[in-house]
Structure 1
Amino acid sequence: MAQRGGRGRGRGNAPAIRGRGGGPIIGGASRPAAGLPESHVTTIGCRRPGFGSSGTAAQVFTNCYATSIPDSTIYHYDTAITPSEQTLPAKLCMDLIRHLQEVDHPDIFNPKAVYDGRKNMFSCTKFNIPETGQTFDVTLAEPRTQPPREGARGPKIYKIKVVKVAEINAEVLNRFIAGKQSHDNTVLTAITALNVVVRMEPTIHYPFNVRSFFTDKETKDIGSGLVLWRGYFQSVRPTIGKMLINIDISTGTMYKPGPLINLCLDFFNRPPSDAPALAPSRGFDNEKRLRLQRFISGMRVVTTLANPSQNRRPTPRVVKRISEVGATNLTFNLDGVGTISVAQYFQTTHNRPLSYPQLPCVEVGNGALIPLEMCRVPPGQIMRKQVPPERTKDVLEFATKKPHDRLASIKNGLGVLAYGQSEYVRQFGMHVQDTGNPLLINARVLQPPVLRYHQSSKQATITPRDGAWNMIDKKFFKAATIERWVFVIYEREQRFNMRAVQDMVQGLMDACAACGIQVQERDPIIQWKNPQGVVHKQLVEAGQDSSRKNGNKMPRIIVVVLPEGANDIYTAVKHFGDVKIGVATQCMKSMKCNRAKQQYFANICLKINVKLGGINTIPDPRSTGIQALTDPHNPTIVMGADVIHPAAHSDGRPSFTALVGNVDSETAKYIADCRVQASRQEMIDDLQSMAEGILTKYMGYRESVEKKPNKAPKRIIFYRDGVSEGQFKQVLELELPQLQAACKKLGINPKITLIVVGKRHHVRFFPKMANEGDRSGNCRAGTVVDSDIVHPTEFDFYLQSHAGLLGTSRPAHYNILHDENNFTPDNLQALSFALCHVYARSTRSVSIPAPVYYADIVCSRAKNHYDPEQRLDFSEMTTADEEHARQQLKVFKDAFKPLHHNMKTLMYFS
């Protein structure tokens, strides 16, 4: 059998990182074989070793369409636009290049080039310009019908320098998709060129955002000054033997067009007739002004002052801030007049008395102050900030479509995209399959793993069906014991009285008994607390009362019942339990507890059991896909890592990192570590020390709890979440060495497999026939694709591991970057599928392996590591200068509290 080659690349032209084992391919095909890269081809991640064969063969549709590759040379030009004190908006750059090609110099740019809105221009012909480049003067001013007034500034002139930087033979793409060409800069540039070609036509006619554009054919007004537009995403992707265009629907959040006053009122959920509510003298205080300012800053407005007789389009202006006082009290010095208010200025100079002189003004980019009532918001303007939390549900409802409806929308999108009518697509000789039906590809449906519960259960094992199972007649694989507990109620006693609480406690105890959790304290202390009080002190008091009742022994868990909308109390409770005191906490909502069905309490038990050290279920070792994963002679640790970043425009807010790993031999009991680092930095700074901590606890658990003779792991399977394809090399160069250094420091030498799990992509699968899907119309849980649409040379696959509930399910995309264990595709696909079934919170398989899911949760809970009394604001949108942002970041880093030592060995994050 052929031996596996390199497992990835190091820096520059360094030799490939090779597996330490160097063993044969198990179950893989010998090379050369159809669809596998040739031996001389280098890759960033692992070379594809072969294709999977397990499971039931199937065919599914995917939202991709085949396209031909140009058969001519592609000319790459670099463009530089000045003056550009700051990055110019892509729309402005597109308009300038369009004007250059269509109005100023159609003789040179014929046929027209395509442009990406930044620096790259691609042409199917060589332009007649000097080799050193040529600079052109371009202005977007409309021709005047009247001479300019004396002293008026002339139109702004932009200088655009165009210089040829490369000639690309498109044949490299044919070689690349055939597995005969490495993924080098030439291939990357050629793919970029094709993406720009297919996006050029729609970006001219529609609002766009990187790879999506939006139309007003389907919209939804969601309030808060926002309107949703349906959009279309498109991306050219190389696959085995062919080039595809991935097409999907997307959602654009637009500022509501029309009078700016109406938008501002809508932001505060006020009717258009209530304009005086925006006056500082009528309660429009500084807090409201700053909220509104954060929302509309950066938005473009046009004034209603333009003279129609001039036949000129009004110039959009960018909003910078909102004045603190109304137009009648806002004054400035006017030459020849002296001090004058804004309201007086518009009345005397423009003969425009204000209807609402008490309302504030907006300051635009050039420093001018314009009353709110004289501004209009042009349509189709994308809001590039975080959607207000209260509108998230509306966005999800608009974006969510059942598989059949989503596929129909994608087919309809072909008519909007109109590839056959695009002069740019035709010029480059591209022919897109537009028969209406998307690509039909080969797939397989994997067998779900057998799940094991405690042997005393009436049903000790179960095989999930369509990604789901139930807990009837089953006891947890390892059930915890509740020796002592206490209940703290933050709902008003009138709404949640003693009878309701007693029913809740009894229901929870019954559920515990059904799943095997022993409850020793049958009459726990129950206390109502004031939600306006200091949560930390209240929980301490409840814990002390419980301790006095139970012989000076603190409770194992504090159950907290919350009213609706009590996010601040929830955060304080978690900070108290996870960081301050180190005691497990379980929050429940009063509305769900009141007359709750037994299923609700059973779901709560899933969380309580693992928080107290129990294990809910484990996959049968024979179902994991990797032979003898639980082999005592080859102990294995599975890790998941993730990074979460602050919202856009939140300068000075930190990013949070998390590492999760199992400590037990059954890869079902996990522990976690969480850190804080520089804002929007994707690579994990403290991975080495985090890994040292997880590995140390893993070995300690095996030695002291499981009494294993060999405590050190022989294999590490490391799942990394949230990394884009462009950052794969950084993971190999910056994170993998940290993981290896942690092992070296601990004196262990496990073989490492590193897998990136991606969720932020637009590939979807649709059943070929309606009866081949699950009840939601989605493909069945376990659908795996590792051919047809995967990378031409690298080891990757798509796995849809969960059953659909709402909308169209998204498969996870797995990229194997480093593999010293020489796993086969069947191995890793079955293992990943099995790990999607051990997520402790539910009796359903989830979309990504449990350790990755846990890492995502740990990152999201990082705000609980801050003392609530400090009142640090994570959501505030700020545009700070670099020094202020650095100071703010230091405040967040210094205030971050580590996890309490009691929680470091428990699944506190469940």
Structure 2
Amino acid sequence: GRTLTYTVELKETEDLEVDLNSLRNYMKNKIYDKPMRALQCLEVVLAAPCHNTAIRAGRSFFKRSEPGKAFDLNDGYEALVGLYQTFVLGDRPFVNVDISHKSFPKAMPIIEYIEQYQRQKIDKSTNLDYRRYDIESFLKGMNIIYDPPACLASAPRVFRVNGLTKFPASSLKFELDGKQTTVADYFRSRKYNLMYPNLLCLHVGPPLKNIYLPIELCRIEDGQALNRKDGANQVAAMIKYAATSTNERKAKIIHLLEYFKHNLDPTISHFGIRLENDFIVVHTRTLNAPQVEYKNNNLASVRNGSWRMDRMQFFEPKPKPHKWAILHGKINYMSVVDFQGMIIQQSRTVNVCLNQKADIRNYRDERELDSHFQDFKKNQFDLVFVIIPNSGPFYDVVKQKAELQHGILTQCIKEITVLRKCNLQCIGNVLLKVNSKLNGINHKLKDDPRFLLKNAMFLGADVTHPSPDQREIPSVVGVAASHDPFGASYNMQYRLQRSALEEIEDMESITLEHFRVYHQFRKSYPEHIVYYRDGVSDGQFPKIKNEELRGISAACSKLRINPKICCVIVVKRHHTRFFPNGAPSQYNKFNNVDPGTVVDRTIVHPNEMQFFMVSHQSIQGTAKPTRYNVIENTGNLDIDLLQQLTYNLCHMFPRCNRAVSYPAPAYLAHLAAARGRVYLTGCTKFRTPKEEYAKRLIVPEFMKTNPM
């Protein structure tokens, strides 16, 4: 093999010396900016014992599984368990440790991958045209090891895969010594006959170079931490694998800490750092759950994070009868008729006003879908149920046509749900969505004299980013705002902006539009704005304060109003977990803390308004608390009242009868951003975000009558 010499130049971006005194200053004084550089320095030190024995991915170190003991996620992936570690600052410095789960491609010959997971038997006549897309999607961007035949007397080499070639090795030509030759003939001239000459080759190395390798001589490299989104099969298998009780999770963390032996590492010792053996004990408070109010002052009590709606009706459905229709594809007509009957039956129970009969129509393709939507719009239909295939992008197509082209309200439901899962409980859950889409109110919370926020708007925002391998796709902004007295009805705005930009660029115009809708419903402007901002990392807090809050203030100035503003950052991507004493029980099989548990001491900075809260009952696995950081509070809202208000808003998500893990405004903003992402489906070439957004404006009338 060749010997290569590289020259590596290291360039320091800031001063060579890191001032660790900044940590002490931050702990003593009320300094807004965290000393991120000093924290990063300590994290580098903390990682010292992990590099040689584990695979690094972000702040997590994954221990390689023993042969045959890895958890198979199917489709060529396996799950590894790792230790997450980072420094955090509470009333003293802490090391936050937790377990991480990540999928890794299995180290195996590519031929074996194709046979095992693509279910394609390989022989001399096999070509991969039929499986090309799936195989290429799996291998693209992955490192493979090329094992030259023994007759070439070359060492194995690692390459990155660009994709599959258009032609098989038997006909794929390249230039060698001024002559054209095929890949198969090249190896034959080197005394090696390819076993599978009809297979496509891998295009590897620099994309502009023509380096082609036969698949049969390549294998997948071990321990690759890929930055790609897992498929639906991997996600489902991973959730099942990772769902453990608090007791099991704690035991796994302790096992990994013992494996890495931080306190025996000379680098860590040199910096004078020593980790305690025990977890920190924190004091908790449990907030009282609110009572949920339905029509005629009927109240439902919340128990273990959920409540029952027995014989109760929605708080405020829209009174006029709604014209509605059902569109279906290949599903049996009588199944659709049965579905219609269950919708009518359950709508009477919960008091959603639908006409006694739906207009049932069949569609065969997208063109017919267009025609039906156009006719429904012309005849002023209020709602269309669309029964969609169980897989594929048809949901995205429906939403694009209905909301961007025609301005018609749709409720999608999968064929398998209509055929196999369609009971009254399922229909009840669907009608929760339908009533809120029709601008009705499913429930409110019983009035509490402590919360006298007159004319309050609850605002939520989120920005979703494309995966690292899709940077050409814009980021999507979703902002939801309440426009009723109860924080129950929301309208939404979405925008497109530069990929990976954290702060919302267009906050002023978004806020002005929300003010317009609020005034339309309330005949006044808000006196209080409680803004829950999701999807922000710690280092971005100053940007949110300087950019987004400035945009909200600019919108207020244009309308000459001066509402009190409270901005709360909602942080879900963290690794703090609570491990209560005791054992799992029949009603709490994962041994989680109770919904409403709050921690606002010890592990939070004493000079910041910050708290952790578990507002929901985890269905599986260890409950993840949400962390809340208050970065603006011009109305001086009391922290205890803000915690209770936040907990109450977790019970206001309109699509289920249970408390969710973070407040409804932020949750709905996430859904708004997800809908914006749906509008991008099918587009492969993107212009500027503003140009792309201009092509995808929601029909204005639809936005006015069906704001969420």
| TM superposition score normalised by structure 1 | 0.72
Matches within 5 A, 1:220-259: 220-240=71-91, 242-259=92-109
* 1:486 alignment partner, one of 315, 324, 340: 324
Aligned equivalent of 2:698: 898
Determine if the alignment matches structure 1 residue 582 to structure 2 residue 391.
Answer: no
CA 1:532/1:714 → structure 2, altered by over 3 Å: closer, same or farther?
closer
d(CA) in 1 for partners of 2:271 and 2:485? 57
Shift of 1:482: 5.4
Determine if the alignment matches structure 1 residue 284 to structure 2 residue 113.
Answer: no
2:704 corresponds to which letter in structure 1?
K
Preserved CA contact (<8 Å) 2:227 2:467 = no
* 2:574 alignment partner, one of 761, 773, 789: 761
Secondary structure of 2:70's aligned partner: strand
Determine if the alignment matches structure 1 residue 872 to structure 2 residue 683.
Answer: yes
Secondary structure of 1:534's aligned partner: helix
Determine if the alignment matches structure 1 residue 201 to structure 2 residue 49.
Answer: yes
Aligned equivalent of 1:53: none
Per-residue CA deviations over 1:804-829 (Å, capped at 9, x if unaligned) read 10112211111111110101210110
Matches within 5 A, 1:612-761: 612-622=438-448, 627-629=451-453, 634-703=454-523, 711-761=524-574
d(CA) in 1 for partners of 2:656 and 2:103? 33
Aligned equivalent of 1:156: 5
Preserved CA contact (<8 Å) 2:327 2:361 = yes
CA 1:792/1:294 → structure 2, altered by over 3 Å: closer, same or farther?
farther
d(CA) in 2 for partners of 1:506 and 1:333? 69
1:852 corresponds to which letter in structure 2?
A
Aligned equivalent of 1:381: 224
Shift of 1:696: 1.5
* 2:198 alignment partner, one of 355, 358, 361: 358
CA 1:615/1:325 → structure 2, altered by over 3 Å: closer, same or farther?
same
Shift of 1:529: 3.0
- Relative contact order higher in (CA < 8 Å, ≥ 6 apart): 1
Matches within 5 A, 1:267-278: 269-271=118-120, 273-274=121-122
Shift of 1:725: 0.8
CA 1:188/1:331 → structure 2, altered by over 3 Å: closer, same or farther?
same
Shift of 1:232: 1.7
Shift of 1:453: 1.6
Structure 1 alignment gaps of length 5 or more: 1-151, 548-553, 704-710, 874-884
Identity of aligned residues (%): 27
d(CA) in 1 for partners of 2:490 and 2:196? 61
Determine if the alignment matches structure 1 residue 452 to structure 2 residue 293.
Answer: yes
1:159 corresponds to which letter in structure 2?
V
User: How many residue pairs align between the two structures?
Assistant: 699
d(CA) in 2 for partners of 1:680 and 1:506? 47
Preserved CA contact (<8 Å) 1:672 1:855 = yes
d(CA) in 1 for partners of 2:103 and 2:671? 26
d(CA) in 2 for partners of 1:765 and 1:393? 24
1:838 corresponds to which letter in structure 2?
M
CA 1:327/1:596 → structure 2, altered by over 3 Å: closer, same or farther?
closer
Preserved CA contact (<8 Å) 1:448 1:782 = yes
Shift of 1:251: 1.9
d(CA) in 2 for partners of 1:308 and 1:207? 34
d(CA) in 2 for partners of 1:532 and 1:170? 62
Determine if the alignment matches structure 1 residue 508 to structure 2 residue 357.
Answer: no
CA 1:502/1:161 → structure 2, altered by over 3 Å: closer, same or farther?
closer
d(CA) in 2 for partners of 1:356 and 1:490? 46
Shift of 1:771: 6.4
Preserved CA contact (<8 Å) 1:774 1:804 = no
CA 1:370/1:600 → structure 2, altered by over 3 Å: closer, same or farther?
closer
d(CA) in 2 for partners of 1:393 and 1:798? 28
Shift of 1:720: 0.8
Secondary structure of 2:604's aligned partner: coil
Aligned equivalent of 1:464: 302
Secondary structure of 2:468's aligned partner: coil
Secondary structure of 1:826's aligned partner: helix
d(CA) in 2 for partners of 1:907 and 1:777? 40
Preserved CA contact (<8 Å) 1:652 1:887 = no
d(CA) in 1 for partners of 2:688 and 2:76? 30
CA 1:865/1:206 → structure 2, altered by over 3 Å: closer, same or farther?
closer
d(CA) in 2 for partners of 1:430 and 1:313? 43
Preserved CA contact (<8 Å) 1:676 1:896 = no
Shift of 1:663: 0.8
Determine if the alignment matches structure 1 residue 301 to structure 2 residue 144.
Answer: yes
d(CA) in 2 for partners of 1:686 and 1:612? 28
1:468 corresponds to which letter in structure 2?
S
CA 1:573/1:369 → structure 2, altered by over 3 Å: closer, same or farther?
closer
CA 1:373/1:750 → structure 2, altered by over 3 Å: closer, same or farther?
same
Shift of 1:841: 0.4
d(CA) in 2 for partners of 1:684 and 1:730? 10
d(CA) in 1 for partners of 2:640 and 2:250? 29
Per-residue CA deviations over 1:299-334 (Å, capped at 9, x if unaligned) read 222222286999x97342222343221222223333
Q: Which moved more, 1:424-433 or 1:811-820?
A: 424-433
Aligned equivalent of 2:37: 189
Shift of 1:891: 6.6
1:325 corresponds to which letter in structure 2?
F
Aligned equivalent of 2:620: 806
CA 1:207/1:308 → structure 2, altered by over 3 Å: closer, same or farther?
farther
Aligned equivalent of 2:361: 527
Secondary structure of 1:753's aligned partner: strand
d(CA) in 2 for partners of 1:466 and 1:763? 21
d(CA) in 1 for partners of 2:396 and 2:25? 55
CA 1:719/1:472 → structure 2, altered by over 3 Å: closer, same or farther?
same
Shift of 1:175: 4.8
Shift of 1:414: 1.4
Preserved CA contact (<8 Å) 1:466 1:774 = no
Aligned equivalent of 2:634: 820
Preserved CA contact (<8 Å) 2:496 2:689 = no
Aligned equivalent of 2:112: 262
Matches within 5 A, 1:776-815: 776-815=590-629
2:287 corresponds to which letter in structure 1?
L
d(CA) in 1 for partners of 2:375 and 2:401? 12
Structure 2 alignment gaps of length 5 or more: none
Shift of 1:791: 2.6
d(CA) in 2 for partners of 1:275 and 1:387? 30
Determine if the alignment matches structure 1 residue 316 to structure 2 residue 161.
Answer: no
d(CA) in 2 for partners of 1:582 and 1:557? 11
d(CA) in 2 for partners of 1:888 and 1:896? 13
Larger radius of gyration: 1
d(CA) in 1 for partners of 2:101 and 2:123? 30
1:684 corresponds to which letter in structure 2?
I
Shift of 1:775: 4.9
Preserved CA contact (<8 Å) 1:636 1:715 = yes
Determine if the alignment matches structure 1 residue 473 to structure 2 residue 323.
Answer: no
1:529 corresponds to which letter in structure 2?
Y
Aligned equivalent of 2:168: 326
CA 1:755/1:308 → structure 2, altered by over 3 Å: closer, same or farther?
farther
d(CA) in 2 for partners of 1:558 and 1:889? 31
* 1:408 alignment partner, one of 243, 251, 264: 251
